[in-house]
Amino acid sequence: MPQPTITFDQFLAVDIRVGTVVTAEVFPQAKKPAYKLVIDFGPEIGQKKSSVQITQHYKPEDLLGRQVCGVVNFPPRQIGPFMSEVLTLGFHDDNGYVVLINADQRVPNGQKLL
pLDDT averaged per 10 residues, the chain (length 114): 87 96 96 96 98 97 98 96 97 97 95 93
Find the angle CA(82)-CA(112)-CA(21) to the nearest 5 degrees: 40
Cβ-based neighbours of 64, under 8 Å, separated by 6 or more: 21, 22, 23, 24
Collapsing DSSP states into helix, strand and coil, what is residue 11? Answer: helix
Q: Largest Cα–Cα distance in the chain?
A: 42
Q: For residue 4, what pLDDT is reported? A: 84
Position 76, amino acid: P
Q: For residue 114, what pLDDT is reported? A: 86
Task: Give the number of residues written for the chain.
Answer: 114
pTM of the predicted protein model: 0.93
Q: For residue 45, what pLDDT is reported? A: 97
Domains of the chain in sequence order: 8-100 (2.40.50.140)
How far is residue 101's CA from residue 90's CA, in Å, rounded to a whole number? 5
Contact call for residues 14 and 72 (beta carbons, < 8 A): no
